[in-house]
A and B are shown apart, each in its own frame.
Chain A
Amino acid sequence: MPPLTDDKIKFLTEKAADIRSSIIHMLILAKSGHTAGPLDMADILTYLYFHALKHDPKTPSWPYRDRLVLSNGHICPVLYATLAHAGYFPMETLKTLRTFGSILQGHPHRDFLPTLETSSGPLGSGLSQTVGMALADRMDHGRSSGKQFYCLMSDGELNAGNSWEGAMLAGKEKIQNLTVIVDRNNIQIDGFTEDIMPLNPLTDKWRAWNWHVQEADGHNFRDIDRVIGEARAVFDKPSVIIVHTIAAKGIPEFERKFEWHGKPPGTPQEIETALKALDDIRTMGGKVASPHHN
């Protein structure tokens, strides 16, 4: 991983703003889909695809690529937007989200978008699949195959027993090139996670299964860089990073509200609010003209 310079941080910041803007435009056009999770994971996805991952948008099936599994498939608008910005497919394609025949299915489907490592949407199955991938890689290439395996998860899906079955196995198998990133946005569909099914103390739970546990500010690239770097350096343990995020980050009126889990900006008022907020991020409140307007 190259060092994270100030210039790179500026680049990532602008890229994340553009990705948030793409997400909102996609959702407005699609008239259905999820808002909160995609917006709050935009910085993480930007960092991974534009700084950390070993990948090649021109050769998506490059065998030595790092693997990224999106276990919480419902936040796919952020993955799709990031992949488009990274050059995997044309930006125009983003306009087809959730429509008939689109490669951008409502939840990720590998039949339609083979670049995906797996299909997802039903929660709680991503971690075990990633563990399986890493185990197979270790059988074939040994402990230092050079690949990293990332699994992105939501906090709500930690309600599911399957998530913990995967965690237990990874701890047992000491899969050191596996990193789980948990989107700790504190919301799920029916309410706040601690009201629906309390997860705290969350770090202790992972530690108990023999994971290396870190926490980070999911909207601070320096902090993200620190924990990803450390996760890669850890020997003999899988790593989990609990990233603290603000649900629907970027649109202050929607932030931290579980009501925004699963709907797009719909009313004219909501659409205006969303577009204005995103423009504010990119122009720093109108102080500069964004070079990235699209």
Chain B
Amino acid sequence: MLNNSIKLNPKLFDADVEQIPIRKGFGEGLLRAAELDTRVVGLCADLTESTQMHLFKQRFPERFIEIGVAEQNLATVASGMAAMGKIPFISSYAVFSPGRNWEQIRTTIAYNNVPVKIVGSHAGVSVGPDGGSHQALEDMAIMRVIPRMVVISPCDAIAAKKATLAAALTASPTYIRLAREKTPIITTEETPFEIGKAEMFWRSKNSPLKKGLSQGRSEGRGIFPSVGIIATGALLYRAILVAKRLDSEGKYVTVVNLSTIKPLDEEAILKLAREMGAIVTVEEHQIYGGMGSTVAEYLAKHFPVPIEFIGVNDRFGQSGKPDELIEFYGMGEKDIYNAAHRVMLRK
């Protein structure tokens, strides 16, 4: 069942569930953040509308700087502005920022510890026909290895708006990952969002405890088929659909939305691993170095359980329709479903 206490979209399972691009939430969030705090400034590298910074630019032209096609300049100018007390948001496609300007971000933003907010749009293969050169699949990996960097990957447009507002309030260098295409609205305005906090979005009615089964060392380690799915970004929607299906088959499933990759909500991950005894991670990103790796690094040390990783398996993207590519690269519902079964067998 959907976790009622966090007020998710009641129409989530409707065939015509509302769909909005995640990047739109950033545009609205930045506008609001700028209304609330005059230190917020915006810089863009010739992609103002694509990254949805145009809303901010129209409202606050004097706080907007057009950098042109120069992402290294984008990051370093923002660092300078932050040193003078501003809270700069910089936006481009994720392939170019933080892709092209990684070292500038590392040294002039993170090493200096200034509150620049790096917003990478068009992440994932769902970018579609533009092809592999424009589909960022490595951005979370390269950002999460930088000390001090906060990494957020919101699941829908509403969460992206909240993430933007929340990021504006912290002093941390922060990366926010956005996607191009329309994706289902999963949350509502009332759903809580906190940086660094994972939220449980789905929990089965088929609790093994209800059936009086003993669970051994950890609850989920017994014979009862149980699995925890951790998803980030828009694929969370597919993860929930899979959970619903597994539920109807009598499996015990919990889905966690991990919108902050770093800092990791260790308590939530540990709890999930203990309870379910098997994990599937789901992200539209390279498996190497991504969200699944973060989870695995933590659990390998603190509570090893079998894990299956849904993501791109060490390959580049290519042109195609978003859904076609998600399936081709093994991130469709069928893949998540099969991974859940595989991992339950490995317990």
> A residues within 8 Å of B by Cβ?
30, 32-33, 73, 98-102, 105-107, 109, 111-112, 119-124, 156-157, 159-161, 188-190, 196-197
Contact = CB atoms under 8 A, between A and B. Distances in A.
Interface residues of B, number: 32
A189 to B, nearest CB: 5
Contacts of A197: 66-70
Contacts of A109: 131-133, 318
B328 interface: yes
Contacts of B316: 111
B131 A100 contact: no
Interface stretch (B143-151, B156-164, B198-206, B319-327): B319-327
Contact of A30 (B66, B129, B325): B129
A190 B328 CA distance: 33
B72 interface: yes
Contacts of A106: 129-131, 134, 319
Given A98-B130, A122-B134, 4 more contacts: A98-B129, A99-B129, A107-B131, A197-B70
Interface of B: 44, 46-50, 66-70, 72-73, 95-96, 99-100, 128-134, 316, 318-321, 324-325, 328
Nearest to A100: B320
B69 A123 contact: yes
A161 B72 contact: yes
B130 A161 contact: no
The B interface, classified by DSSP as helix, strand, loop or mixed, is: loop
B46 A188 contact: yes
A111 B317 CA distance: 11
Those 6 A-B pairs whose CB atoms lie nearest each other, nearest first: A197-B68, A100-B320, A159-B68, A106-B131, A121-B133, A98-B129
A165 B318 CA distance: 29
A30 B325 CA distance: 16
11 contacts: A33-B129, A100-B319, A102-B319, A106-B129, A119-B133, A122-B96, A122-B133, A189-B46, A197-B66, A197-B67, A197-B69
A250 to B, nearest CB: 23
Contacts of B321: 100
B291 to A, nearest CB: 25
Contact of B73 (A73, A122, A161): A161
A119 to B, nearest CB: 6
Contacts of B72: 161
Contacts of A102: 319
Contacts of B69: 123-124, 156-157, 159-160, 188, 197
Contacts of B134: 106-107, 121-122
Nearest to A158: B69
A110 to B, nearest CB: 11
A105 B132 contact: yes
A121 B319 CA distance: 13
A156 B100 CA distance: 17
A161 B70 contact: yes
A197 B46 CA distance: 9
Contacts of B320: 99-101
A112 B318 CA distance: 9
Nearest to B133: A121
Given A98-B319, A159-B46, A196-B68, A107 B130 contact: yes
A32 B133 CA distance: 16
B131 A105 contact: yes
B319 A196 contact: no
Contacts of B318: 100-101, 105, 109, 112
B133 A190 contact: no
A143 B328 CA distance: 48
A100 B125 CA distance: 12
Contacts of A119: 133
Contacts of A124: 69
A294 to B, nearest CB: 24
Most buried by A among B46, B47, B67, B99: B46
Contacts of A33: 129
Most buried by B among A105, A111, A124: A105
Contacts of B50: 189
Contacts of A120: 133
